[in-house]
Amino acid sequence: MENRTTGNVTELPGLRDRLHVFRDRPHAGEILAGMLEDYRASRTLVMAIPAGGIPVAASLARRLSLPLDVAVVSKITLPWNTEAGYGAVAFDGTVRLNRDLLSRLGLSGKEIEAGKAATTGKVERRVEKFRGEPSYPALIRERVILVDDGLASGFTLLVGVEALKKSGTGEIIVAVPTGSAGAVRRVAAEVDRLYCANVRGGWSFAVADAYERWTDVSEEEALRIFKTAMKDLG
C-alpha cells in the first residue's frame, strides 16, 4: 500500500474513511513503521504517549530499530466524567487549558486548580514509574517521532508537542494509526511532519473504530510492554 503526501501530512489513501483496519495496536505500529521506513536506524527517538500509545510505539520502534522513550502527557478530566477532559499536563510541567470548553462548563477556579494539581501529580508519578527517575534529562534531539494510538481532538497530543518544542527538539514528527481529518489538520500545523495511516472524515469519530480488537491499556500493561521493548532494543 503506497503513501500519499499532501503538504506535511502522509496517509495511506487505501485506508481513507475505513473502519476496523488494524487488528490491534501492535499491528497498527507495524503499518506505521512501513510508512516511516525512511527513518530506519536513523538519529531519531520514538516517544510514546502512555498508555495506549505504548503498544503502537513499541512495535514501530522494533521494526525501525529506533530507540524508545515515553512522553508522559495526561488530560485534566472533569470531576463528573473521567473520560472527558478540559486540558492536559505534559512531562515538563507544561499545562494547557481548553478555554473555549471551560467557558461552557461552569467549573470554579478551585475545581480547575484541583484538577491541574491532581493531573500534575499523576504525570510526575508516571514519569518516575516508566523512566525510573522523577524528571527528564535535556531532550535536545535532532528528531523525535511522537506516537499515540489515535487522534480524536488532538488536544492532549498538542500539549506533548509544546513540551518537546520547549525542550529544544530539532524536528518533531507525529505518527498515529488513525485520526479525524480535523484533528490531523490541527496537529499538522504545529509539527514538521505527520503520518496517519487511517484518516477519517464525517461528523463522528472514535479511535476505537479503527481497530478490530480494542481494550483500554492499563498502566501496568503499558509498563510491561515498555520494559520488554526497551530490553529488546538494547
Burial of 3 (0-12, 13-18, 19+ CB in 10 A): middle
Alpha carbon distance 131, 136 (integer Å): 8
Q: Are residues 87 and 168 in the same domain?
A: no
Q: Is the pTM of this model over 0.75?
A: yes
Q: Are residues 106 and 203 in the same domain?
A: no
Q: Report how many domains make up the chain.
A: 2
Alpha carbon distance 36, 61 (integer Å): 10
For the residues of 124-182, what is the DSSP string, one character each?
A: HHHHHHHHSSSS------SEEEEE-S-BSS-HHHHHHHHHHHHHT-SEEEEEEEEEEHH
Q: Are residues 200 and 218 in the same domain?
A: yes
Q: Are residues 118 and 58 in the same domain?
A: no
Q: Are residues 142 and 197 in the same domain?
A: yes
pLDDT tens-digit profile of 168-200?
899 999 999 999 999 999 999 999 999 999 999
Task: Give the 3-state secondary structure of residue 73.
Answer: strand
Q: Are residues 227 and 119 in the same domain?
A: no
Q: Are residues 60 and 158 in the same domain?
A: yes
pLDDT tens-digit profile of 144-162?
999 999 999 999 999 999 9
132, three cell numbers: 525510573
Provide the domain limits for residue 189.
4-71+138-233
